[in-house]
Chains A and B, each alone.
Chain A
Amino acid sequence: MIRPEHLGARISALVDGELGHAARDRALSHIAHCATCHAVLEQERQVKGRISAAAAPPASAELTARLRALAEPGDPLPPRDRRMPLAPLVPTLPPPGRSRTGGPLGRLDSRRPGSRGRASRGRAASARRTRYAAATAVSALGLMIATAFMVGGAPAQPGAPVLPPTAELTVEHAATTAGLPLSDPAFGAVTASFGGLTFPPRAATAPGR
């Protein structure tokens, strides 16, 4: 048992180099004449030496993965704070590092200050899933509307492309109507010979006309 006049707890301070200059001299003078304190000092030094020489324990694989995950890209930036038609359906989460106030979850946190337990993280994850599901549904709906708009644009007509033989049809018209009473032979002949009295295409209308 160490006597009260011995160094006691000051031996650890001496080993750690935490004593002042005068106290250190007094401690070293005492140890020079006290075998007990000298022995305790040696034990302290050996223990400290072992601790310092010991290798750092290897980190577990799970811990490493979790730490690496922290360095990966996070969620996209939250949308701007503006009214959206689906805003009541899609809770808005503040970006990491921002105060959780103003949004529905922020209000929950404000009612329970400091609550960062499993339940709170579960609600956040659930809200995130809801947000992703809503965003996916909105995207799918938009894709469907865009597809329907594109597909419904040009009316699809069945059949092969046909260029009607209009010259032949015009002659056929003249051939059948020439037999009608009071038909005009001149018009019929003109129609049959070169497609009737065609009107030349109009020139561009002059300004002011």
Chain B
Amino acid sequence: MSGLAGVGRLAPTGLAGPVALLVVLLGTLSGGAPTLAPAALVDGTTADASALRMLERAARAPSTVAYHGVQFVSAWSDRGSSSLVVEVDHRPGQGTAVRSGSTTASPAADTFLPAGGAEPSVLGGSSTLRLLATNYTVVVAGRGSVAGRAVDLVEARWPGSHQPAAKFWLDAETGLVLRREVYDDGGRATRASAFVEIAVGSAASDRHLPPAMPDAWSQEVDYSDRSAMRGRGWQCPDELPGSLDLVDARRGGDEAAPILHLSYSDGLATVSLFEQKGRLDAEHLDGYRRSEQDGRLVYIRDGVPQRVVWSAGGTVFTVVADAPPATVDQVVAALPHEPVEGEGGMDRLGRGFERVGSWFNPFG
């Protein structure tokens, strides 16, 4: 294992002055590839066609390239941080085994992700990549090395900004993503993963595969189904704030208590919206903190993914989001909510009179 110090040796081109000089110097001293500034960086707003091709190649790479190695994953937010080291064993056509040791925050777990996973039911895989190119400015930002392998750095930048929303370090030889980082709109990293050791071209031998991750719900919900469900009080938005487009719609649970699952993505962030009929039994919701913001009462579990639960109008909403906290807040705010107790007295009185009046309304 080469250690964390050897991860992501890079000379990005977006830096200026002494910092850029220091980074270039360090990259040169450590044997990294020379800095390469693509022409698209001149104005910083034009999508780089070569960058998009690199990302498309990276998306296809796991279907043909075997690898195994050690990877760390980390997540940060205003509420805390968490990190984990995992062993990854990928076999093309079969899937990816991920093994993690136990930590103080989580037990040891081995999981096998079947190859391909669930194909998006609303948008295809290539369309999801197109969402990334539509919502972000994708550029090649330089070269470097990760775990001793040469990489190309591709950045997805916030529209009209030089600020990165995500960085991908792509193996120059195979196209595999060897390191990635995601940032909030303030430039702070929210999650990161990187190989600290990787062997490309073969899977780990003589190791049995761990239990597979459960399949996604099989019952897809198409356009006509969603239209009919809207008429019965289900929220089925085609898009959510933060340029999140609907990419997948499924149905779980049983006939008596169905659960609607809508998946949204902007090409980078992913948000799942689950809906169930009823009202939230908050008293038995363990591990969630109560939060009141702008008159909305929700229950939050911090981490990656972030989970937010509440109910309104006879529907229980559960948002599971792998997205910047500000985006999650926008999504939650865009959905229905009940007023929080402690509101204005006149509102409460008005609702009380309305409710008392309904008792005497023979047609109510």
Q: Spell out A's residues near B (CB within 8 Å).
A: 144-145, 147-164, 166, 168-202
Contact = CB atoms under 8 A, between A and B. Distances in A.
Interface size class of B (residues with CB under 8 A): 35 or more
A184 to B, nearest CB: 5
Q: Which 8 A-B pairs have the closest CB atoms?
A: A152-B352, A148-B352, A179-B117, A199-B80, A189-B98, A162-B278, A193-B109, A181-B59
Given A166-B318, A178-B113, A184 B279 contact: no
A195 to B, nearest CB: 8
Contacts of B261: 169, 172, 176
B90 interface: yes
Interface stretch (B4-12, B31-39, B81-89, B200-208): B81-89
B113 A160 contact: no
Contacts of A162: 257, 276-281, 311, 316
Contacts of A158: 279, 313-314
Nearest to B156: A182
A174 B111 CA distance: 12
Contact of B352 (A147, A157, A199): A147
A169 B128 contact: no
Given A186-B73, A192-B213, A169 B303 contact: no
Interface in B116-165: 116-120, 125-126, 128-129, 132
B86 A173 contact: no
B113 A185 contact: yes
B355 A151 contact: yes
A186 B316 CA distance: 30
A182 B177 contact: yes
Given A177-B272, A186-B71, 11 more contacts: A152-B349, A158-B279, A161-B281, A162-B257, A173-B272, A179-B117, A182-B55, A188-B117, A193-B98, A197-B303, A199-B79
Interface stretch (B222-230, B235-243, B244-252, B327-335): B244-252
A188 B113 contact: yes
B92 interface: no
B300 to A, nearest CB: 10
Interface string B324-364: 00000000000000110100010111111111100000000
Interface of B: 55-56, 58-59, 62, 71, 73-75, 77, 79-84, 86, 88, 90, 96, 98, 100, 105-107, 109-111, 113, 116-120, 125-126, 128-129, 132, 168, 177, 180, 191, 193, 213-217, 247-248, 250, 252, 257, 259, 261, 263, 265, 270, 272, 274, 276-281, 284-285, 287, 289, 301-305, 307, 309, 311-316, 318, 320, 322, 338-339, 341, 345, 347-356
Contacts of A157: 279, 311-314, 338
A187 B73 contact: yes
A199 B259 CA distance: 27
Contacts of B350: 152
Contacts of B96: 185, 189
A158 B280 CA distance: 10
Contacts of B338: 155, 157
Contacts of B302: 198-199
B248 A176 contact: yes
A161 B248 CA distance: 27
Nearest to B276: A162
A185 B98 contact: yes
B276 to A, nearest CB: 5
Contacts of A161: 278-281
A185 B88 contact: yes
A44 to B, nearest CB: 83
A177 B263 contact: yes
16 contacts: A149-B352, A151-B356, A152-B353, A153-B348, A158-B279, A160-B278, A164-B280, A170-B307, A171-B214, A173-B270, A175-B117, A176-B261, A177-B322, A189-B213, A196-B304, A199-B79
Contact of B272 (A169, A181, A193, A198): A169
Given A172-B272, A186-B88, A187-B191, A180 B128 contact: yes
A192 B110 CA distance: 10
A176 B250 contact: yes
A170 B180 contact: no
Contacts of B248: 176
Contact of A180 (B58, B265, B285): B265
